[in-house]
Structure formats: C-alpha cells, structure tokens
C-alpha cells in the first residue's frame, strides 16, 4: 500500500469534512446526485466580461440577455434571502447574484448547502452591479458536484511549493498564474508545429523503447521486456531514428516527444522531459541558426505579443540578430587562453590544474578540457541569446568535423540567461567517420564515462546507403516554455513533475 493510500485510509476527518459529507447525503436525499450529471453550458466567464464590460449599468434595464455558465464556487457571501457568489471556469471568475425571489425557496435551500469548492451550474440574466461588476442574476441554480475537502485559505492558496507541485489540481484551482502557464504551454507547442508545418516539415513519431543507448551523453532508465527477456532503455534522445528517415527520403522531419534521463533534479532538469528535434536535408549549421531565430521570434510575437522577457533574473530581448561566437573565442575573451593555438594535451592538463579544474581520467583530453573551461568561466555569462559554436570533437560524437580544423565540429548550442536552450549540428553523414566516433565512445566507457554511447551498427549501415547533407537541432521544450512564460523552475511548466516521496 502506498504511503498516500495509507494516509487516506487511516486519517481522521476534520469537522469541515464531516459537515460536507453530511451535506452530500442531504443533497442525495433530495433525489439529486451529489456528484453530478451532464450540464449544457453555453457561455464562459471571460467571454461574458469582454462582451459586456463597456455596457453602462442603466442599459441593462432594457436588456434581456442571458447566459449559462458552470464552474467551481470560489466565493460566497450569504445574506439571508439573497446572496452573492463567484463561479470559476477555465477562463476566469464570474460573479452571481442569487435570490429566493428569483429561484424559489426549494432551489434557494439547495444553494444554502453550497460550500467553497463545489461545482455548480447557473443560468440567468446578465446585469451590472452599482460598483460596475458584470454579474449574472441567477434564474436557475443547478448543483453539480459536492467538494468533500475544503480549498486552501483563499488569500494564500498552497503556500508550500512542494505541495503545489504534488497537488497540481489544487494549485490550478487557486493559482491564476499556474493556470495561465498550463494553458499557454500547448499554445506555444501548437505555434511551433504550425511554424514548421508551414515550412514543409513533417511531424513524426519514433519509439520510446530502444535496445541501444545512443543519441546523447546521458545515463538511461532501464526496463525489461518480459516476452523477449531483454533489457531495454527509455530513449535519451530522438536523433538516430530521425536521421534514418532522412536516409529514407523524408527530407524535412521533426518530432516532439518525451525523453528520459536517469539523472538529478533541479530547477533546469526533470528526469522525464519533452524534446523536439528537427532535421533539414541540404542544410547546415547556418540554416539551423536562422530557423531557430525565426521560430523563437514567431512564438514571441504570435503567442506572447512581445519580444522582451524576464527570465532567470535577467531581461532578455529576442528581437534582431543574435550573437554568434566560437567556444574557444568565448573562453579567450574571459581567461585570455587561446586553446585554438594549443596543440599539446599536456599543456591543456597543466592549465586545468593551474585553474583548479579537476579532471577524471577520461576527461584528460583536449576537447574535454576546453569544455571544462567553458563550463567554469563562460556558460553563466551568456545572457542575451547567443549561438556558441565550434565544439571539440570529443564531446560531439554525432557531429561533422570542421573542415578547417578537425579537432572541432560544426555544432552550436543556444544559450539564453546562462543556460543551454538548444543544441544543433551540421549532421555527420560519413559512415566510416561515424563508426570511428562510436568506437571512441566505447573507449571512454572503459575509462569510466558511464554516459558514453553504444555502437549502433544499424545506424552505420543506414548511413552507408547515403544520408543527404543536413542540419539538425534539438530543443528542450520545457526550457523554451520557461522562457516564454517567464518561470524560474522547470517544475512550474510541467503539470506533474517528478517528486521525491513524502517522508
């Protein structure tokens, strides 16, 4: 039995919960199901307010406009034979005036059993109070659902942040900001889909379960297929299957899907997250930069109506052309060290020791040391949108080499407010080179890198049939949504984030 189930079975009911259960039985005795039946709603709170907010109070005297709404009671002020209450639907709150003279004694007595949190239906005449608030004068009151638990205190809602994430359903009831983010996320994703579809891309789906660990450097979740009696991984990336589709002639493809990495949790990371990967045949790194800039600006303008955002403590402007700089130049700007001119690995190791950078055995290589310097000195300084390109080959096993310097690759990462938001390649399509990279990954695993890739021989075979030159990019959708909704934690943009067990 789960701990939560045990708590539910063993806990004592509060006085309020006992009273609510008694009211539910009273409603049932009236021949009404306390947990509801179908209700024909025709109107929403926000639409009513928008339509009538500018109508003068006196003009309602000659109007007979009516509305039918349904939602949760969030406020009640009972005043004898007449009362005010508010009903909250997905669009917002609507005030309701209810009187025994309008609905009769029987219906008014039913209303008097109502508590905060109950779900009701209201049909009535639209009016405006003397204070100027658009209100529905109730002509028919319908009980729909009795809430057996009271809502949190109205002014504070769920003040415990952990409980907000655990009981997201209560958070969405009480917190307008949480509800706004929940509705905005699918709008952002739909905007992305429309943007890519308009450019001729095809959205596809590829398997979540895989036999091999490949496509990224990460620790996997492992599961077991009983029928075949084999261990399988939950995918850590979308990449290799999408590139197989390029081989097959699907020249512009993308996928938005769940990805899983068996790693820690913090404001930027959740073990289960949403990625999007996009591949465009006959493109390259430059094409991916242009696509990314255009897509972000499209979301900003079409969904948010602005290009300036406050994100992770910084004011960010997404308009115009974004900064582009190589990893080695960015390190040189801050430390004065020009790794591009260094060819001796021993010199790199000496510089790492000099700067207090600890290296594991598999990291005592040119590329890993450059990456360590970047992470220590540069990453958190990239505030405005910045395309950082020219990654060392050791940390980019699936990327095409830079033809001018094979120590580096044609790869970029997009950084905003000091955090990575996207990762792009001029895709490696040389099967011989690809196999050598896979083999190098196995050597790293032998030296202790538990995030190194397996060799995917089928993917190498696919490349041998010929994959067109291509640009590819991966986006963390959760971080993208964080930016556009101006949230500080990934858990604020996931409806049900992974949580530690209650103690």
Express each pLDDT in 396-432 by its tens digit: 877 889 999 999 999 999 999 999 999 999 999 999 9
**What confidence score (pLDDT) does residue 4 get?**
47
- Grade residue 156 by pLDDT with cuts at 50, 70 and 90: low
Give the pLDDT confidence of 175-208 residue by residue, as tens digits.
999 999 999 999 999 999 999 999 999 999 999 9
**pLDDT over 80 at 69, yes or no:** yes
Q: What are phi and psi of 420, to 5 degrees?
A: -70, 135
**What confidence score (pLDDT) does residue 160 get?**
76
DSSP per position, 22-68: HHHHHHHHTT--TT---------HHHHHHHHTTS-GGGGGG---EEE
Q: How far is CA 62 from the centre of its chain?
A: 48
What end-to-end distance do the CA atoms of the chain give, in Å? 15
Give the pLDDT confidence of 449-465 residue by residue, as tens digits.
766 777 899 999 999 99
**Alpha-carbon gap, residue 129 to 271, rounded angstroms:** 51
Element housing 10 (H / E): helix 3-10
CATH class of 174-322+384-492: alpha beta
- The beta-carbon contacts of 170-173 under 8 Å, at least 24 apart in sequence, are 173/72, 173/88, 173/117
Single pTM value for the model: 0.90
| CATH 2.40.50.140 domain span(s) along the chain | 13-151
Q: In the structure, how many helices (H) and strands (E) does the chain have?
A: 16, 20
**Average pLDDT for 358-363:** 91
Give the pLDDT confidence of 76-101 residue by residue, as tens digits.
998 889 999 999 999 999 999 999 99
Q: Which CATH number fits domain 13-151: 3.90.950.20, 2.40.50.140, 3.40.50.12160, 3.30.1380.10?
A: 2.40.50.140
Whose tokens are 């109107």? That residue is: 43
Share of the chain above pLDDT 90, in %: 84
Strands 222-225 and 230-234: antiparallel
**What confidence score (pLDDT) does residue 155 get?**
46
| CATH 3.30.930.10 domain span(s) along the chain | 174-322+384-492
**What confidence score (pLDDT) does residue 157 get?**
53
């Amino acid at each position: 039995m789960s701990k939560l189930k045990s708590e539910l079975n063993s806990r004592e009911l509060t006085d309020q919960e006992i009273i609510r259960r008694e009211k539910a039985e009273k409603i049932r005795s009236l021949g009404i199901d306390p947990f509801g039946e179908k209700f024909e709603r025709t109107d929403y709170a926000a639409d009513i307010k928008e339509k009538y907010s500018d109508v003068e109070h006196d003009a309602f005297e000659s109007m007979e406009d009516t509305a039918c709404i349904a939602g949760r009671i969030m406020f009640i002020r009972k005043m004898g034979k007449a009362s005010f209450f508010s009903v909250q639907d997905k669009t917002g709150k609507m005030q309701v005036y209810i009187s025994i003279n309008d609905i009769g004694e029987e219906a008014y007595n039913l209303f008097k059993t109502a508590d905060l949190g109950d779900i009701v239906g209201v049909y009535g005449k639209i009016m405006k109070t003397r204070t100027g608030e658009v209100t529905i004068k109730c002509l028919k009151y319908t009980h729909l659902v009795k809430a057996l638990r009271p809502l949190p205190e109205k002014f504070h809602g769920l003040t415990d942040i952990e409980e907000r994430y655990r009981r997201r359903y209560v958070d969405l009831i009480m917190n307008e900001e949480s509800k706004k983010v929940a509705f905005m996320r699918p709008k952002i994703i739909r905007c992305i889909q429309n943007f890519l579809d308009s450019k001729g891309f095809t959205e596809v789906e590829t398997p979540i379960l895989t036999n091999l660990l490949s496509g990224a450097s990460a620790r996997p979740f492992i599961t077991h297929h009983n029928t075949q009696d084999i261990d399988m991984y939950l995918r850590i990336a979308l990449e290799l299957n999408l590139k197989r589709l390029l081989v097959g002639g699907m020249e512009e493809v993308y996928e938005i899907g769940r990805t899983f990495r068996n790693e820690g949790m913090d404001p930027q990371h959740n073990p289960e997250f949403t990625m999007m990967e996009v591949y465009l045949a006959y493109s390259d790194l430059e094409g991916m930069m242009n696509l990314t800039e255009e897509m972000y600006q499209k979301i900003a303008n079409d969904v948010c109506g602005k290009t300036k955002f406050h994100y992770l403590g910084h004011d960010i402007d997404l308009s115009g052309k974004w900064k582009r700089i190589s990893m080695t130049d960015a390190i040189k700007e801050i430390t004065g060290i020009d790794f591009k001119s260094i060819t001796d690995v021993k010199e790199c190791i000496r510089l790492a020791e000099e700067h207090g950078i600890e290296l594991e055995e598999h990291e005592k290589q040119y590329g890993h040391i450059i990456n360590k310097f970047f992470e220590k000195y540069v990453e958190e300084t990239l505030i405005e949108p910045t395309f950082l390109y020219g990654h060392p080959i050791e940390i980019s096993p699936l990327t095409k080499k830079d033809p001018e310097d094979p120590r580096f690759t044609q790869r970029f990462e997009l950084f905003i407010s000091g955090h990575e938001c996207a990762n792009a390649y001029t895709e490696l399509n040389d099967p011989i080179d690809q196999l050598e990279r896979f083999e190098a990954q196995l050597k790293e695993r032998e030296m202790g890198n538990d995030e190194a890739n397996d060799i995917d021989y089928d993917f190498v075979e696919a490349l041998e049939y010929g994959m067109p030159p291509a640009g590819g990019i991966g986006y963390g959708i959760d971080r993208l949504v964080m930016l556009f909704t101006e949230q500080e934690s990934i858990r604020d943009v996931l409806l049900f984030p992974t949580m530690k067990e209650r103690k």
